[in-house]
Structures are given as structure tokens and as C-alpha cells.
Amino acid sequence: MTNIPNSFRKFAIMIKTFYFNDLRTCCYVLWDDTKECVIVDAGCYSESEKGRLAKFVYENGLKPVKLLQTHGHFDHVMGCMFARKQWDIPAYMNHGDIPQVARASSYGGYFGYSFEDPGEEFIDLKDGDEITFGHTALKVLHTPGHSKGGVVYYNEAEKYVITGDSLFAQSIGRTDLPGGDLDELMASLKNKILTLPEETKVYPGHGPATDIATEKQTNPFMM
């Protein structure tokens, strides 16, 4: 995503994908020409993973200003406290997932993970809210189903959306965890996510990127 003409740089967003912890949770760093950045879903668990995230930020001269969570499941919040302390930044999440965050450490323990409690000090996100950094704006869409407080972050100008565990390439999020509801998830997908322009690139919570057109045409859960 380099070699962008100067006349377009104020609209250009750069996105770095990390795959963290054994569940291969996607963590995204988004920034523009101002070098302000946001971190989405800080799932970094090990010290080496935290080091990789920090090294990338510092080597690229980035300035983290916000930590954004798509939802509160433990594999997405294991590095929350690290990121908040490392860069002294506020964290954002829909408060419908506060119960999930409150239980994140105990749930993680069932899978052999021991990490610093992410706390419950998150700025609440509502449907339609706008998150800004640098020259960039992300629209918040509340998409319950995988969890009560699940959200996606949509950039209309550059046509991309970060979907967390609501939508994956060729799959959708599970709904058998506390707070999950299949009917809610399908409504979120059909009424919020899949109504986005077909060229919209999708950055999910696990697995490779895809796009809305591909998922509408080939995702078996959408057919």
C-alpha cells in the first residue's frame, strides 16, 4: 500500500494485519499519512507477540490514539491492557459485551491462557457512532449475534469493513457462546453488513480478507 500519489494520500489508509495467539485472532493497525493510528482487537498474548506489535508501531513512526474492540471475547482482548498501558490510549467497545470482558480472564484460563485482566473501562460505542483518527473516519455498526455487543467498523470512503467474528471468508461467527443468538447474527449480516457496497473489502476477526460480493455469492451461510 505504498507508492500512493500525493494528491490522494490524505484519503489513503494503510492496514497491517497480525495473527495473534493460538486461535489466530486478527489484530489490525490502521493509519494514514498523519501517522495517527488505531489498533483493532488487541489479541496479542505472548511477550513476543506484544513485542511484534510494539516494534511495528515504533519502526513506522506511528502514534496510537485509540484501541477499538469488535467484541469482548477473550481471544480478542488478551492484549488490551498491554496496549492501553503501552501507549496510554482509551479503549472503545459496545457495552453490551462488558459481561464478556468481565469473564475474559476466567474463560481464557479454561484454554490455558493466563493474561492481565482487560478491565471494564471501555468507552461505549453506539450504532452510527463515528471513530476518527488523523484524516480517517470509521462508522460503527452494531451487529449483535456472535455476541450482544458486537460491532463492525466501516470506512465508506475507501470501502472496507472490519467485521470481527460476525463474518468470515466462507463462514460466519459461532452463536453457541454466552450472548450468542443465530437469529440476531443473521439479521445483522443481512441488514447491516451484506448491504454494504459489493466492492467493500472485509477484514474479519480470523482468517483471510474477503469482500462483500464474494460472500454474497459463495458463502454457504448466505445461500
pLDDT at 151 over 60: yes
Q: Identify whether 44 is part of a domain.
A: yes
Q: Identify whether 1 is part of a domain.
A: no
3-state secondary structure of 132: strand
In the chain, pLDDT over 90 holds for what percent of residues? 83
Q: Identify whether 85 is part of a domain.
A: yes
Q: Identify whether 137 is part of a domain.
A: yes
- pLDDT tens digits, 156-187: 999 999 999 999 999 999 999 888 999 999 99
Question: pLDDT value at position 11?
Answer: 55
Question: pLDDT value at position 116?
Answer: 86
Q: Identify whether 168 is part of a domain.
A: yes
- pLDDT tens digits, 7-43: 333 458 999 999 999 999 999 999 999 999 999 999 9
Confidence class for position 6, pLDDT limits 50, 70, 90: very low
pLDDT at 222 over 50: yes
Q: Which residues contact 42 (CB under 8 A, 6 or more apart)?
A: 27, 53, 67, 69, 76, 77, 78, 79, 80, 82, 83
> 164: which strand partners?
204
Confidence class for position 1, pLDDT limits 50, 70, 90: very low
- pLDDT tens digits, 46-57: 999 999 999 999
Q: Identify whether 192 is part of a domain.
A: yes
Mean pLDDT within 141-157:
97
112 vs 210: CA distance, rounded Å = 31
> 168: which strand partners?
171
pLDDT at 140 over 90: yes
Which DSSP string corresponds to 71-117? ---HHHHTTHHHHHHHHT--EEE-GGGHHHHHTHHHHHHHTT-----
What is the span of the domain harbouring residue 208?
Answer: 6-222
Domain CATH for 189: 3.60.15.10
Question: pLDDT value at position 105?
Answer: 85
Say how many domains are in the chain.
Answer: 1
87 vs 117: CA distance, rounded Å = 17
66 vs 119, higher pLDDT: 66
Query: Please, what is the average pLDDT of the chain?
Result: 93
Q: Identify whether 159 is part of a domain.
A: yes
